[in-house]
Amino acid sequence: MSWAMKLRKKQPVFQAFLWMYAIISVYPLLWMVFYSLKNNNEIFVTNPFGFPTHFRFENYVEAWTRFSVPVYFVNSLFVSIITVIGTITLAVMFSYACARMYWRFRETARTYVIIGLFVPIQVIIIPLAILVRDFHLANTYAAIIVPYIAFNLSFSTMVFYGFFRSIPIELEESACIDGANIYQSFWRVILPIVKPAIATMVIFVFLNAWNEFTIALMLITKESLKTLPLGLLFFQGQFTTDWGAMGAAMTIASLPTVLIYIFFSRQVENALTVGSAVKG
């Protein structure tokens, strides 16, 4: 390879642009983590940009104890886990029936559920709020968990359906010949095969539920039921007084999803982009 070609292959100008954008993308977060470890004087005057001179972990203690961060955190965790379990269970069963079993309206049923993808969720919040009130679910966990599950069904169904269609039919045939009934074959033969898809969707649904803001805002008003995205709004008033603790609370709220992403970066990217291949 000639010198000029090598240079072209490396694209120095574009590479520089990429590194610059990486800084734009990450530095605000570093800045947040930095100031979560500083006191106001350091943030505002002596050292606004750089690494903290002295780790003030008391900000984290402050955030954790004085504001209800633990309550929000546990709520978020609970809501997200139940949403994941509910969504995956329902979507796997439904898409299996649509993809493999024989019944008359299966194509219609599938299309009907997939239409949900084209509806912006916040649009239906008014009727939803009325429904939640009429079912006496207002200010319970169910008020947000049930809608979260319902909203995630369309997408999960679409993804699982694609997976089920790619499994050879011989698997069920042999299970049938071996005398298994439909439930056993579903549980023991089919589910283990779609494990990768389930793992992907677990991540996808978890991130969605953990970060959801709009529905929670409109359907939850009780302090003890608030999830993190909602609870953190509470700090808005205190902003000027205690940046350090605010930064600490924000860092705590971001930790779970960032850790999930760092450890499973490929899977998370796949999970979030899986729709483009099917939906496009």
Partner 1 sequence: MKRFLGNRLAISIFIVPTLLLYTVIVFYPIVQVFFRSLFEWDGLTEGTFIFLDNYTRLFQDHIFYTSLYNGLVFAAILAVLQLGIGTILALTIANASFRGKKILRISFFIPVVLSITVVCQLWLAMYNSEYGLFNKIFEAMGLSYRQDWLTNKNTAIYAIALVNAWQFMGYQFALLLAGAKSVPEQYLEAARIDGAEGWKAHWKITIPLMSETYKYCLVLAVTGGLNAFANMFIMTGGGPGTTTYTLTYLMYRSAFRVGEFGYGSASAAILVIECLIVTLAINRLIARERITY
Q: What string of H, E and C letters represents the secondary structure of the chain?
A: CCHHHHHHHHCHHHHHHHHHHHHHHHHHHHHHHHHCCCCHHHHHHHCCCCCCCCCCCHHHHHHHHHCCHHHHHHHHHHHHHHHHHHHHHHHHHHHHHHHHCCCCCHHHHHHHHHHHHHCCHHHHHHHHHHHHHHCCCCCCCHHHHHHHHHHHHHHHHHHHHHHHHCCCCHHHHHHHHCCCCHHHHHHHHHHHHCHHHHHHHHHHHHHHHHHCCHHHHHHCCCHHHCCHHHHHHHHHHHCCCCHHHHHHHHHHHHHHHHHHHHHCHHHHHHHHHHHHHHHC
User: What is the nearest approach in angstroms of partner 1 to the Cβ of residue 237?
Assistant: 12
179 contacts partner 1 (rule: CB under 8 A): no
Q: Which is nearer to partner 1, 115 or 192 (CB)?
A: 115
Q: 247-276 mask for partner 1 (x: CB under 8 A)?
A: x--x--xx--xx-xxx--x--xx--xx--x
242 contacts partner 1 (rule: CB under 8 A): no
Find how far residue 206's CA is from the centre of its chain.
4
Q: Which of 61, 74, 93, 191 binds partner 1 (CB under 8 A)?
A: 93
144 contacts partner 1 (rule: CB under 8 A): no
User: What is the nearest approach in angstroms of partner 1 to the Cβ of residue 140?
Assistant: 15
149 contacts partner 1 (rule: CB under 8 A): yes
238 contacts partner 1 (rule: CB under 8 A): no
15 contacts partner 1 (rule: CB under 8 A): yes
Positions in 150-169 near partner 1 (CB under 8 A): 150-151, 153-154, 157
78 contacts partner 1 (rule: CB under 8 A): no
Q: 187-206 mask for partner 1 (x: CB under 8 A)?
A: --------------------
Q: Which of 69, 197, 243, 244 binds partner 1 (CB under 8 A)?
A: 243
Q: Which of 63, 84, 88, 146 binds partner 1 (CB under 8 A)?
A: 146
Q: Which is nearer to partner 1, 84 or 128 (CB)?
A: 128
217 contacts partner 1 (rule: CB under 8 A): yes
Number of residues that bind partner 1 (CB under 8 A): 103
CA pair distance 157, 175, nearest whole angstrom: 24
